[in-house]
A and B are shown apart, each in its own frame.
Chain A
Amino acid sequence: MPPTITLQNVYKNYRLWGRGSQFATLKSALLKRDLRLSPESSIVAVKNVSFTVERGEAFGIVGRNGSGKSTLLKLISGILKPTSGRIIVGGRVAALIELGAGFHPEITGRENIYINGIMLGLSRREIDQRFDRIVEFAGIGEFLDQPVKTYSSGMYVRLGFAIAVHVDPEILLIDEVLSVGDEEFSQKCIAKIQEMKYRGVTLLFVTHQLDQVRNLCDRAMWIDHGEVASVGDPVRVVDAYLQQVSSGAPVIPVLATETPSPEEEEEKNELVEEERWGSGEVVLSRVALVDDSGSELVALSAGSSVAIEMDVEVRAPQDDFVFGIGIFHADGTCVYGTNTDLEGWLPQRLDGDVLVRFVVPSLELVAGSYRVDAAVHTRSGRAFDYRRGALRFVVGSRVHDTGVYRPRHKWEFDGAVRFKSVDMLERNVPAPIAEYIRDTEEPPKPEYRKRKKREE
């Protein structure tokens, strides 16, 4: 089948009009006697990008703010035209770039559904057919006949999403919109998107939520400063991206090639900012996730041996102190939390700088993004230094198992059951585990008889 989206050597320059400002005035144009609309300078937002997305594929685009992700999406949707290069898109496109962008605040939800549907290319009849499903999915209930200006921002977004996904597009472009709305609706959106993917809709994502890329996408692309840095397996691409983000270069680009929109701004803050409070008599000057050799990690594979290290700076000696750690999934679920007090370490004296290590011989988590809270406080809970989101890390895995906790486990089979012998890597077995199996067991025989153990 031919690919649905093809980009060939696409360049996009943003032109800057007028003297460094975005727009000129007719007066100045006339005064200069120069009505030619010649831009004075331009910025390259997308540089020589080529890739294809196959029909029915879910394709993720990751990259920093200002790397050109959103520009790419706008180019594919046809909102922007490429400066040079070719873009071929085969199929009805729905772009979720901003939900509810076409809503008029003064008219009712019902009327807005019609207008928005027509904007997205539906006829009135087609909207009639979908109307009830849209209303039900959006869950706006009795607000349907109220002006949209009375809606909460959540309702607004829900309605926008509901309309867009009920257009039945063949290609769905999604820019960051899954991060809005409440948790329940987010889940509903993801379920809907998975359903669309199952029905063969081609999906193109731009997102900062890397676990979404890992969980939903078949392939991913990392774009850096407008150029393709890497394309391929989503886990590999996301890991490569995270490694680069963690190694040196700051997460917030100093020179953005496009002004980040407010949403992006928020996302960025969400990504890097930690909340921190406390009296400051004792300070956690460094919190880091390290491997056995002591080097800092941002991305790791499931089952790695790691330690959370805290450099503790004592400004005033204490004799009532507790060190605590909390690990949270990106969606906010607490994975694990403990502290020295809970585990029976009775404090006696803290009067000099300390290195605290929380050692985990094997971190049994499934793939996803995680956040660590680190704290030092009194036994009654008064914080010296509480760092919420002190560090973030990502667990990668080739196994697409779900949940949060991956217990050490193995499969055992008794009876008339056989499995085909295939290469472990193809079977999505994590590389280190596959190697481990190869090392410790005989080479796989053509058929597995009787009992077969596989440790994971």
Chain B
Amino acid sequence: MTDLYRHRQLILALTARDLKARYRGSILGFFWSLANPLLLLGVYTLVFTRFFPNNPITAYPVFLLTGLLPWTFFAAAILESTVSISSNGGLIKKVMFPAEALPIVVVLSHLVHFALAIPVLLVAMTAFAFAHQFRMAPTIALVPVLMIVQTFFVAGIAMVVASASVLFRDLRDIITNLMQLGFFVTPIIYLIDRVDSRMLRALLRLNPMTPFVVAYQDVLYFGRLPRLSDAFLMLAYALASIALGMTVFERLRDTLAEAI
């Protein structure tokens, strides 16, 4: 942790570099990072409002986006962190470089994408508010807090995944598949309270991303405070994740330069 703080300048500079490099040379710039969630939004909205017209969730695109954006942040950051160290082999092998900065940089740049997508959500919310299908609520102010807690949660897992995938080259494939599965066992396209089996609901609650997505839906879509149990779970997951990330990374650090 202190190491990460010591390298904050480096981490910030690398994050800025990442973002610049990503958007340089593409005409649409950062809008590309919105392309995937917007596409998903279009598809799911079409499916759930036209193909299944009995959808009980009003202002469905708003609901979908509130879950989709934090999920995309999580999934994309974890997936990219699997290659964050091995694709920077030159740094690890040839420069005295703090390897833990690499997954953190990935997480931070995806956090920026997430933040940049929020205006899209706001536009959608405003539009539906005008159509009287949706009401804006002051709980929206809690979003930054949720984002910070989620960032810690994502960062810890990213550190585990980044260091472990240097040693286990198939980890990326495993995670790609897990993420596809994860999308459906997280209440993003459906409402968890509508799941009519108690056991299934309990199972869904075991997914560490569930309290996060539910909390985002609470503050953004329902305009209410997150449940206390969800708040507690989020904090616990974030702390556990960071602790695990640090421990695993510390264990594997010395082998990284050799194993790449």
Point out residues on A near B: beta carbons under 8 Å. 14-15, 17, 22-27, 29, 37, 74, 77-81, 93, 95, 97-98, 101-102, 104, 106-107, 111, 114-115, 118-120, 123-124, 147
Contact = CB atoms under 8 A, between A and B. Distances in A.
A123 B21 contact: no
A114 B96 CA distance: 16
5 A-B pairs with least C-beta separation: A106-B21, A26-B168, A101-B94, A98-B94, A25-B170
Interface string B19-32: 01100110000000
B21 A104 contact: yes
A17 B259 CA distance: 8
Contacts of B94: 79, 95, 97-98, 101
Contacts of A118: 9-10, 13
B168 A24 contact: yes
A37 B10 CA distance: 31
B24 A147 contact: yes
Contacts of B10: 118-119
Nearest to B251: A37
Interface in B8-43: 9-10, 13-14, 17, 20-21, 24-25
Nearest to A80: B257
A114 B17 CA distance: 10
Contacts of A124: 9
B169 A23 contact: yes
B92 to A, nearest CB: 8
Which residue among A15, A101, A104, A114 has the maximum number of chain B CB atoms within 10 Å of its CB? Answer: A101
Which size class do B's interface residues fall under? 20 to 34
Contacts of B199: none
B258 interface: yes
A78 B166 CA distance: 19
Contacts of B168: 23-26, 29
B139 to A, nearest CB: 38
B93 A26 contact: no
B149 interface: no
Nearest to A114: B13
Contacts of A78: 96
B24 A26 contact: no
A102 B91 contact: yes
Given A22-B259, A23-B259, A79 B171 contact: no
B109 to A, nearest CB: 13
A238 B225 CA distance: 75
Contacts of B1: none
A87 to B, nearest CB: 13
Nearest to B12: A118
B56 interface: no
Interface string B74-115: 000000000000000011111111000000000000000000
A26 B174 contact: yes
A107 B21 contact: yes
B96 A93 contact: yes
B247 interface: no
A98 B90 contact: yes
A27 B14 contact: no
B91 A101 contact: yes
A107 B169 contact: no
B258 A26 contact: no
Given A37-B167, A115-B17, A77 B258 contact: no
Contacts of B25: 106
Contact of B95 (A24, A106, A114, A119): A119
A174 B9 CA distance: 26
Contacts of A104: 17, 21
Given A101-B91, A107-B20, A107-B21, A77 B96 contact: yes
A77 B93 CA distance: 11
Which residue among A14, A15, A25, A95 has the maximum number of chain B CB atoms within 10 Å of its CB? Answer: A25
Given A26-B174, A29-B168, A118-B9, A15 B17 contact: no
Contacts of A77: 96
A347 B106 CA distance: 74
Contacts of A14: 258
B15 to A, nearest CB: 11
